[in-house]
Amino acid sequence: MSDDAPSLLVATQCAVRVLTLNRPAALNSFTAEMHARLRAALDEAAGDASVRALVVTGTGRGFCAGQDLNDPAMAGPDADVGAIVERVYKPLALRIRSMPVPVVAAVNGVAAGAGANFALGCDLVVAACSASFIQAFSKIALIPDCGGTWLLPRLVGRQRALGLALTGDKLAAEEAARIGLIWQCVDDAMLMDTALVLATRLAAMPSKALAETRRAIDDALGMDYASALSMEAERQGVLGRAPDAREGVAAFVAKRAPKFSDR
């Protein structure tokens, strides 16, 4: 691969935007430059009404190995790691979580450090059977970032979160699916087809309601039962008055496919 190859590839298939991390020689680890491209591409997709689902994946044998430990701007001896996490990893995690459309991670190979948590922060994670997840932070004397401390215990419970984070052991995709860390593990050859079929299906669904579902589930995790029920009533009220809900009901009654447009 030439040094001039873009570190992020952007493609569109119907209503699905596919973002591919493209630094395979370094297992698609994050440089400042790749962060900037990814951020711009996510912002652009969020603002483009024709985009109704997103797939993120990587080229080569890795999905993403987290921070590029050779990037002097971000991992050199003088790097302020806390400031970097605040400046790039926190906004990345929040951007994914606030996308107006569903985000599917198609994990094609090893996902380590912030690369693992970037994937786990997506709405649905589909991984190739040969892929793996590594909370590599403890091996370089750091804690999980890019949302790892929040995501891991919520996805797999405190004991498994600590097991993964303290040991930094590699977790095979099949086991990740078995314990509920990810949505699905598929044959390597089926990864992109599976992710694209899933994303295309989600793209035809009511985007606004899907994004509100994500927000409600995340918010409910911090609420008591009664508060969650009140939150559901309030937000259902807003969605119920929106055009997509009217279209959904009208399509059901008319026995036709709905055409959703809210975003």
Contact footprint for ligand T3D (CB under 6 A): 26-27, 29, 65-70, 74-75, 79, 81, 84-85, 110, 112-114, 134, 136-137, 140, 142, 145
Task: Indicate the residue among 84 and 124 with the shorter CB distance to ligand T3D.
Answer: 84
Provide the 3-class DSSP secondary structure of residue 13: strand
Give residue 243's identity as a one-letter amino acid code: P
Which token pair is 190? 């089926």
What is the nearest approach in angstroms of ligand T3D to the Cβ of residue 237?
A: 41
What is the nearest approach in angstroms of ligand T3D to the Cβ of residue 150?
A: 15
- Chain centroid offset of residue 242 CA: 27
Task: Indicate the residue among 141 and 253 with the shorter CB distance to ligand T3D.
Answer: 141
Which token pair is 140? 């370089």
What is the nearest approach in angstroms of ligand T3D to the Cβ of residue 203?
A: 30
Task: Indicate the residue among 134 and 205 with the shorter CB distance to ligand T3D.
Answer: 134
What is the nearest approach in angstroms of ligand T3D to the Cβ of residue 67?
A: 4
Sequence-distant (6+) residues with CB within 8 A of 244 are 206, 208, 209, 260, 261, 262
Task: Indicate the residue among 72 and 180 with the shorter CB distance to ligand T3D.
Answer: 72
The residue length of the chain stands at 263
C-beta separation of 60 from 27 below 8 A: yes
Sequence-distant (6+) residues with CB within 8 A of 6 are 22, 37
What is the nearest approach in angstroms of ligand T3D to the Cβ of residue 153?
A: 19
- Is the dihedral angle over the CA atoms 73, 104, 42, 96 positive or is it negative? negative
What is the nearest approach in angstroms of ligand T3D to the Cβ of residue 68?
A: 4
- Outline where DSSP puts E strands in 70-143: 103-107, 110-112, 124-128, 132-134
Task: Indicate the residue among 67 and 108 with the shorter CB distance to ligand T3D.
Answer: 67
Task: Indicate the residue among 69 and 242 with the shorter CB distance to ligand T3D.
Answer: 69
C-beta separation of 28 from 115 below 8 A: yes
Task: Indicate the residue among 79 and 204 with the shorter CB distance to ligand T3D.
Answer: 79
What is the nearest approach in angstroms of ligand T3D to the Cβ of residue 241?
A: 42
CA distance linking residue 74 with residue 7, whole number of Å:
16
- For residue 107, the cross-strand partners are 127
